[in-house]
Chains A and B, each alone.
Chain A
Amino acid sequence: MADRPITYREALSSALREEMQRDERVFIMGEEVGVWGGTYAVTRGFLDEFGARRVRDTPISEMVIAGAAVGAAMAGLRPIAEIMTINFAFLALDAIINHAAKVRYMFNGQFTVPLVIRTTTGGGKQLGATHSHAPEVIFAHFPGLYVAVPGTAYDAKGMLKASIRDDNPVLFVEHSTMLQRRSPVPDDPDFLLPIGKSDIKRKGSDVTIVTYQKGLEHSLVAAEELAKEGIEAEIVDLRWLRPLDLEPVFESFKKTNRCVVVEESLPMFNVGAEVAAQIHDVCFDWMDAPVKRVAAMDIPLPYSHEIELMALPSPEKIIRAVKEVV
């Protein structure tokens, strides 16, 4: 079937729609998902199409949105719970970490939690310190939960459909500034991408850039600039923070012998720390330079745009980091 260029938002919408049509047990619950049509307009029209039984507006109650979705999933439904932004997932941490991720293990496999929690991440929109996190890595700390971080419309669609069909709980993290990005996406209603597979988004031989979402966008820009100077970056898009697939990273590193990890989250205890540690473990003999990390500055984000931009990763910062290692 033909691949059509659609937006990241349309990719999410069509994935949800197709999976709801396919399986009656799939339903949506969250704040403003129904009458409003989704804060980011992803579920626009869903209330009319599927009705209030399957598109359920909730009170502003993150704890029970996540917790009730866990219970419904344990009991055999396949909830898609929406937490408006990942900042508000902090209010639901216990339900997500202690229950979504653990009930299967704790009760020796008696329960499954076929749950998707959709949420949006990302800063840079002047929303201030409490509303500008990109903290998905926190959730990747815990076994029992998958964490999806799609960076293109293509990935968003295939990964969301796969997440909904999978029997494990998935925190599906969408990027709030990427909803209008377009890429070709198959029309096939069974288009699924494998869970826990990273993807090479650009071929290169001089340095390996490991990244996802906003970092991917910045890295692609940086790579074009670097190419003008004869530096070819290979870009690995992680796509999932759990399961974390670093095989393509190792393979790439053995060729380039250099690595820069780019992410929007904070600089300590982050994805870069994990990737660097694993590269040390597996590729020690191939290392020509220390693994560099590009992340946000180690501060809460301010409102004022001038200084907010200083704190965030950018193509320029990536180029600088690459030049330190090549």
Chain B
Amino acid sequence: MAKPNKETLLDWYRQMVLIRRFEERCAELYQQGLIGGFLHLYIGQEATGVGAVAALGPNDHVITAYRDHGIALARGVDPNRAMAEMMGKRTGVSGGKGGSMHLADRALHMWGGYGIVGGHLPLAAGIALKMKYLEEDGVVLALMGDGSTNIGYFHESLNLSAVWDLPVVWLIENNQYGMGTAVERASGAKELIRRAMAYSSEDGSGMKMGPRVDGMDVLAVYDAVSEAAEYARKHGPVLVESLTYRLEGHSMGDPQRYRTKEEVESFVVSGPIGRFRHYLTETYKGVEKALDKLDAEALQTIDDAVEFAKSSDNPTYEDLISHVYVD
């Protein structure tokens, strides 16, 4: 596992800030009625997405749930096209037909965000099967929320991946709630990582139980997922749990009656970006200027993306009726 150098770390910082600014702007655009439907922000979870995706190579694959903006941006999706999708424009990554929950970019092996809880997990198994079947290099990183570990899709997918030794890193983004339901009110196993035991054997075959990692620490997530990916390539599936926190509501308009302001505040203080910035300034003397520059550039990138999206065309009737079938 390659130790990330300074340049790499700064790029992770850039990504995390870009995601944060992207999400903040999306919230504004939603209030202005320029984004519709459901909007689920990634604010608070940036370290998990950036650290995990950074552990992948170009031949690897990513698939996630509807809280997908951060994953898409981390994987390198063009912010212009991501923003255009938010606004339902035909220049969007999904042509304006997918929206916030459904960002895919095939060229980047970003297989999409999916709105049905757990629905993408069997797809991850299938994508991994293709690689195993054709003896291709590569692993699938399948991200999911804590809440999705309680749906049948989760159990069937993890079990199949264990039976067939599929190269999947199953990564639970445990942000402590599925909508308003805290993990311990929804899962018999409070430590979700223990679910791996259900698909593993005493002789070590089956699912490997990976670590339960501090999901607010981008370096820790990177290390954990890198190691898991290496194992998955050689042997088969690994389950990793990242402990993180969703700083905003589940989606726009969530009254958040299920948690206190104090609880949220406590995570703001220990938020992933501030923490990483602190680490960087401690590690590299005089790096502040570079970081400030990245901060400013992120804002500019988002301004440009909004401009691009606003000036893009709406989809047409032709778009409406296209791609139902292969022509």
Residue positions of A touching B, CB distance < 8 A: 31-32, 35-37, 39, 57-63, 87-88, 91, 125-131, 297-300, 302-307, 310-311
Contact = CB atoms under 8 A, between A and B. Distances in A.
Contacts of B258: 35-36
Contact of B181 (A31, A88, A300, A311): A31
Contact of B315 (A128, A297, A304): A304
B257 A310 contact: no
A125 B151 contact: no
Contact of B186 (A60, A91, A128): A60
A85 to B, nearest CB: 10
Nearest to B178: A60
Contacts of A59: 147, 150-151, 178, 181, 186-187
A36 B179 contact: yes
B89 A304 contact: yes
B178 A304 contact: no
A131 B36 CA distance: 13
Contacts of A297: 320-321
B284 interface: no
A303 B88 contact: yes
Interface string B207-219: 0000000000000
Interface residues of B, number: 44
A43 B319 CA distance: 40
Nearest to A307: B320
A32 B250 CA distance: 12
A211 to B, nearest CB: 24
B20 to A, nearest CB: 24
B320 A125 contact: no
Contacts of B181: 31-32, 35-36, 57, 59-60
Q: Which 5 A-B pairs have the closest CB atoms?
A: A303-B99, A304-B88, A59-B150, A126-B37, A126-B36
A290 to B, nearest CB: 24
A128 B185 contact: no
Interface in B95-123: 96-102, 114-119
Contacts of A302: 96-97, 315, 319-320
A311 B316 CA distance: 12
A36 B114 CA distance: 23
Contact of B320 (A35, A57, A299): A299
Contact of A32 (B180, B314, B316): B180
Given A36-B257, A302-B320, A130 B99 contact: no
Interface in B116-147: 116-119, 147
B177 to A, nearest CB: 10
12 contacts: A31-B179, A35-B257, A60-B147, A126-B88, A127-B38, A128-B99, A297-B321, A303-B98, A304-B96, A307-B314, A307-B315, A310-B317
B31 to A, nearest CB: 15
Contact of B319 (A37, A62, A307): A307
A87 B115 CA distance: 10
Contacts of A305: 36, 88
A172 B256 CA distance: 28
Contacts of A129: 97-98, 102
Given A35-B258, A126-B37, A302-B320, A91 B151 contact: yes
Contacts of A131: 38, 101, 115
Contacts of A91: 116, 151-153
Contacts of A311: 320
B2 interface: no
Interface string B71-110: 0000000000000010011100010111111100000000
The secondary-structure label for the interface of chain A is loop
A131 B89 CA distance: 19
A299 B321 contact: yes
B315 A306 contact: yes
B148 interface: yes
Nearest to A306: B314
A121 to B, nearest CB: 16
B1 interface: no
Contacts of B38: 127, 131
B122 to A, nearest CB: 12
Contacts of B187: 59
B269 interface: no
A222 B151 CA distance: 43
B326 interface: no
B123 to A, nearest CB: 13
A98 to B, nearest CB: 15
A304 to B, nearest CB: 3
Nearest to B320: A307
A126 B147 contact: no
A36 B253 CA distance: 12
Given A32-B179, A35-B257, A59-B187, 8 more contacts: A36-B181, A127-B38, A127-B115, A297-B320, A303-B88, A304-B88, A304-B315, A307-B320
A87 B97 contact: no
Contacts of A61: 150-152
B98 A37 contact: no
B324 interface: yes
Contacts of A126: 36-37, 88, 99
A164 B37 CA distance: 32
Interface centre among A35, A127, A307 (most CB of B within 10 A): A307
Interface in B303-324: 314-317, 319-321, 324
Contact of B37 (A31, A128, A299, A307): A128
A303 B316 CA distance: 12
B194 to A, nearest CB: 15
A75 to B, nearest CB: 22
Nearest to B86: A303
A126 B39 CA distance: 11
B148 to A, nearest CB: 7
Interface in B169-226: 178-181, 185-187
